[in-house]
Structure 1
């Protein structure tokens, strides 16, 4: 939930009440509701093979014609460009670092909406075939179209304004009649938060009608003899561009434009204007021009006021009820391809390499980078730049009034900034609480270890997590073989344990010492050769980043400590790293628990062993679940 308080106050003030009926499904068995290729899944893209095959045949066969070849080329080019337009708008929509203050709706899109809109591009397939059939139906008019015709561009605009706009307006109003809305149009309105992909999310019947809206200006211009290739490309791509603009959840049109030229507001709609149609459905029916809403007396009376408020970023200093932002490894590249982040990238093994490539490509290793790959954290000369970015994020969060900032992942590396201690000591008056979340990570690992365990082997035993795990297990009278070459560091940790439990901490210097232990806790990189010292049946618990490579088929490997989110969490629409939906790393969950409990201390540096059970019980109390 993000900036919900602001939205609620604005909604009540303006008298806008969201129509909850839009959230409930209507009839799904109506004629022409479903797409003909609905059950094909990803194989629907084979339908484009028709144009590819025709293009190849026309290019290689003596019987092929240049006209057929050019037609197929243009259809395929247009399909690619239209998909690119929607993807670029979707990418911009996800760039919170650019548009955070101009969000039309503070809500986020969730997995349910993402899954519903997964086949948003069905209309591109449909219109490609309809366009090809139209070309074949008027071969004489389509033959030898010039590349450019200025009169054709003017004619196309006039036909759009005089035909497409009013037809869409009245057709859209008709779609809101009880019968058609219940059987068809409810599907589009089931997306409560508009997104560029929502523009293409509708039934088969509605997109058949949309083909008429898109095609009328093109066909009309060609029939009067003013057609051109640029007119076709321009009309289709600008049409998609404006559709995406209206469904984008970011206000990009400045209110100063309408203040200086009041009449302009009737000739171009805004994301705010269209979003009000999704919250108060009896208003704002236009395609792109509010002029027809004005003529039909269906303009929402709050359109310009809310547009000005959002465009000017008013209310930034408002109170924040609860603000939870997941900044996992995936989220830094979500804007590149949101569909991938929403679905399978969270399970892919190439996430780290992709991030490393982006980080090195976008920023040299010695320069501060806003796109951080895993490998950069281990480069000594990159530490200063990384810490600078983390410090800037903390200070910015402090200015915004954020309650808790969770470092998590490699941002809290001991060698990097001593687990966040560097920032807290440098800025002692921080209002934001800095949390590394390691206490909950330790709790998750410790509660996965069998209660009847008598002996464990611990690699990375002198790290923050290793130290806490060793001391906690010693209190449970579990013998801990601590792998470390430093006797001084081992004795320092041993002295922290109560005298009666110190005997349970044993220093070992080789992996071979654990060849009879079946519980290995890995907190440092372990090579395949070192793993072979574990006996068959060993389970490897891990808190090392990146995780070790599983090489033993006769052993089992745990994942990084993670928790399942509470059932009432809403508006989560991306996966964390390699985790499934609704699962987050324990260190991230630790920051949320810190916020929910209202704790006022920083959680940085060494882990307080006495707090492990406290944090664990607090997480369970708030609905987090172990995997």
Structure 2
């Protein structure tokens, strides 16, 4: 059973708690059109301050997770995993609490006085009260919460987040935030009590308070050490992200709110604070650890672009789907698309560790539809080439190409880059060997399959593999020449298992379809009842038959020891990646030294599959009953 005042009173409301914010807005609007009382004008100020605070924490969190800006400035060099994201889901409870306390205070002590916009004396009074009361009060309370009982029953929740983030600042118990409300309220209430309150004081003090809390929890060192070299006493006036991170690492030190002066006076100052800050500041200009493996992704569309982990962390931690409430922000996504085109640089979007190897996802600043524009091909290939050369310069061992980045018509499945740069040290991998293995291992105990996209890279490998196993493969293609070429690759005694068909009607009695080319609902209608649709087409086929089942795109679940993974790969579930991504990962883990580009080596399919299982990757077979 939880300790008293551990849980939040509105916990039962879940996400519906946001309706409480709406109460303040509704009250202000009612006042504006009905009563025009000063008391209810305060409701509008409370609502606006809450929205600005939410925006402040979101903006700082987005910045903290922009790895393409912050990777060399990070203090705790770990990714924020799903567990931490879930724990901090209700990080904003304290903002709601302080809004309710402010609303109740105004209800109990109503005022009709006209509030000044600016009052210099009030600002000075608030600063004095903050230094004289709020700072030592917070220091004392915070230190008390590190005692055995209070820490075990309350404060340990805050310290359960391994990587400090701006949201971590709000991740604490109800009791702790009651005390914090007092700390933040003293300078404001004190200034009003002596008759020097103002609107600017309320907005300014609260937002600066939040800004400094976000700074301390950001895990990104942005305060230059030269500032303290120039004015040494400043190090006791303002803390840094490094200073606060030391409190999370060595908890019996650095208790202060924002001013290390009180740690110095209380003899709780961590002696490593300034040296570590200087080191982190200096290291910000150096490249950090080189990743062992890079997955080169691309943006699918404007909507999915908002699924990036640095946009909204909580959304990225779940599989992508179109969220109605994000659609108004599509113009922002469009503007970012134009900016990415102008910048023309590959971005680092996520990072995690597996078996002591650093794995990163970079993204080419191109959207899905661009890959189908003939005039865009040269520019896209140039960006992919630059990413490969950059990985080669850094010392990356393997770079794997995502779906459209390895399009056969675009660059021959990566062959273009290997031929152009024969001395590459980085291994270029399309990962399709494992994709083929995943699809083939989903197909059990069949004697006949119908294959669309039959002459593609994956279609060819699947057809050749199955025909060797004695399975009849109905290969749908209009090109007799391409069919003959594939048929000749099969052993002489297996060639009879490859059947050339040109119409969907040829599969009316086949209950196993392998779809490698988009098919319409009408084309799906030719399949008999009970058909299982396997697929490797991008985007996936839309299910239209209620009497059939549909498989998702080939994917594999990462090993359980993957660390720092906190975002989902497009529509995949947590910890699941596309098979081509996993294929590049296996290439890296095995230490293979060949490039995997161009045509799939059919004889390696079983080898790659066994290697994937040996390294702890698990097949994911999701069947959709429409």
TM-aligned CA deviation for residue 66 of structure 1: 2.3
Between the aligned partners of 2:119 and 2:326, the Cα distance in structure 1 is 50
Give me the whole-angstrom Cα distance separating, in 2, the residues matched to 1:500 and 1:469.
17
Q: What is the alpha-carbon distance in structure 1 between the residues aligned to residue 98 and residue 284 of structure 2?
A: 41
Q: Is the 8 A contact 1:195 1:249 kept in 2?
A: yes
Q: Do structure 1's residue 601 and structure 2's residue 594 form an aligned pair?
A: yes
Match of 2:349 in 1: none
Q: CA deviation at 1:265?
A: 1.6
* Cα offsets for 1:118-164 (capped at 9, x unmatched): 00000011000111223344444x72111112222222122212211
Residues 517 and 535, structure 1, Cα contact 8 Å, conserved in 2 = yes
Return the alpha-carbon distance in structure 2 between the equivalents of residues 366 and 277 of structure 1: 42
Taking the aligned partners of 1:375 and 1:350, their CA distance within structure 2 comes to 22
Please state how far the C-alpha of 1:354 moved relative to its aligned partner.
10
Q: Of the candidates 278, 294, 309, which is equivalent to residue 334 of structure 1? A: 309
Query: 1:501 maps to what in 2?
Result: 494
> What is aligned with 1:48?
21
**2: CA distance, partners of 1:604 / 1:185:** 53
Q: Tell me if 1:545 matches 2:543.
A: no
Output the CA distance in 2 between the equivalents of 1:533 and 1:253: 65
2:124 equivalent to 1:185: no
What is the TM-score of this pair, normalised by structure 1?
A: 0.90
Instruction: Say if 1:226 and 1:238 are closer, same or farther in 2 by CA, change over 3 A.
Output: same
| Structure 1 counterpart SS, 2:493 | helix
Q: Which residue of 1 aligns with 2:214?
A: 244
Distance 2:85 2:413 in 1: 36
**Secondary structure in 1 matching 2:280:** helix
Q: How many Å separate the matches in 2 of 1:430 and 1:470?
A: 32
Q: Which moved more, 1:251-260 or 1:187-196?
A: 251-260
> CA-atom RMSD, angstroms?
2.4
TM-score by length of 2: 0.90
Equivalent pair of 1:333/1:355 in contact (CA under 8 Å): no
Residue 406 of structure 2 corresponds to which residue in structure 1?
Answer: 412
Partner SS, residue 151 of structure 2: helix
1:50 Cα offset (Å): 3.0
Task: Flag structure 1 segments of 5+ consecutive residues without an equivalent.
Answer: 1-27
Change (3 A) 1:561 1:350: farther
Q: Name the structure 1 match of 2:59.
A: 88
How has the CA–CA distance of structure 1 residues 326 and 73 changed in structure 2, closer, same or farther, with 3 Å as cutoff?
farther
> Residue 152 of structure 1 aligns to a residue in which SS?
helix
Distance change >3 Å, CA 113–CA 465, structure 1 → 2? same
CA distance in 2, matches of 1:93, 1:553: 45
Residue in 2 that maps onto 1:463:
456
1:215 to 185, 201, 217: 185
Please tell me whether residue 290 in structure 1 is matched to residue 283 in structure 2: no
Among 268, 281, 284, the residue aligned to 2:238: 268
Which runs of structure 2 are paired with 1:339-358 in the superposition (5 Å)? 339-343=314-318, 345-348=319-322
SS of corresponding position for 1:406: strand
1: distance between equivalents of 2:382 and 2:275?
40
Rounded to whole Å, the distance in 2 between the matches of 1:327 and 1:103 is 23
Report the equivalent of 1:566: 559
Q: Give per-residue Cα distances to partners, 1:31-77, cap 9 Å, x unaligned.
A: 1011001121111122224323422432343xx34213311111111
Instruction: Specify the SS of the correspondent of 2:62.
Output: helix
Counterpart for residue 235 of structure 1: 205
Residue 384 of structure 1, CA deviation:
2.3
With over 3 angstroms needed to count, the CA separation of the structure-2 counterparts of 1:404 and 1:30, relative to structure 1, is: same
Aligned residue number for residue 146 of structure 1: 116
Counterpart of 2:336 (choices 356, 362, 380) is 362
Q: Distance in 2 between matches of 1:530 and 1:357?
A: 36
Partner of 1:423: 417
Aligned residue for 1:14? none
CA distance 1:551–1:530, change in 2 (3 Å): same
Q: State whether structure 2 residue 285 is matched by structure 1 residue 310.
A: no
2:85: which partner in 1? 114
Distance of aligned partners of 1:214 and 1:625 in 2 relative to their CA distance in 1, 3 Å threshold: same
Q: Secondary structure at the match of 1:453?
A: coil
Contact 2:80/2:564, CA 8 A, preserved across alignment: yes
The residue that corresponds to 1:71 in the other structure is 42
The structure 1 residue matched to 2:577, chosen from 563, 584, 597, is 584
Q: Deviations over 1:454-496 (max 9, x none)?
A: 1111111111111111111111111111111111211111111
Task: Say whether the 8 Å CA contact 2:295–2:402 is kept in structure 1.
Answer: no
Secondary structure of residue in 2 paired with 1:563: strand
Structure 1 match to 2:506: 513
- What residue is the counterpart of 2:5 in the other structure? 32
2:354 maps to 1:381? no
Shift of 1:350: 8.2
Worse overlay, 314-323 or 504-513: 314-323
Q: CA offsets per residue over residues 391-441 of structure 1, 9 Å max, x none?
A: 222222222222211112221111121111122222222222111111100
The answer as to whether partners of 2:292 and 2:398 remain within 8 angstroms in 1 is no
State the partner residue of 2:473.
480
Counterpart CA distance in 1 for 2:159 and 2:367 is 39
Partner-residue secondary structure (3-state), 1:541: strand
**Pair 1:534 & 2:532 matched:** no
**TM-aligned CA deviation for residue 314 of structure 1:** 6.2
Distance in 2, matches of 1:324 and 1:493, equals 32
Residue pair 1:359, 1:371 contacting (<8 A) in 2 also: no
Give the 3 Å change call, closer, same or farther, for CA 40–66 of structure 1 in structure 2.
same
| Structure 2 unpaired stretches of 5+ | 346-363, 621-626
The structure carrying a bigger strand percent of its residues is 2
Of 439-448 and 35-44, the range deviating more from structure 2: 35-44
Residues 293 and 399 of structure 2 are in contact (CA less than 8 Å); yes or no, is this contact kept in structure 1?
Answer: no
3-state SS of paired residue (1:429): coil
Contact preservation (8 Å) 1:523, 1:543: yes
Distance 1:240 1:366, change over 3 A: closer
Measured against aligned partners, the alpha-carbon deviations of 1:286-308 in whole angstroms (never above 9, x if no partner) come to 11111111122212122222222
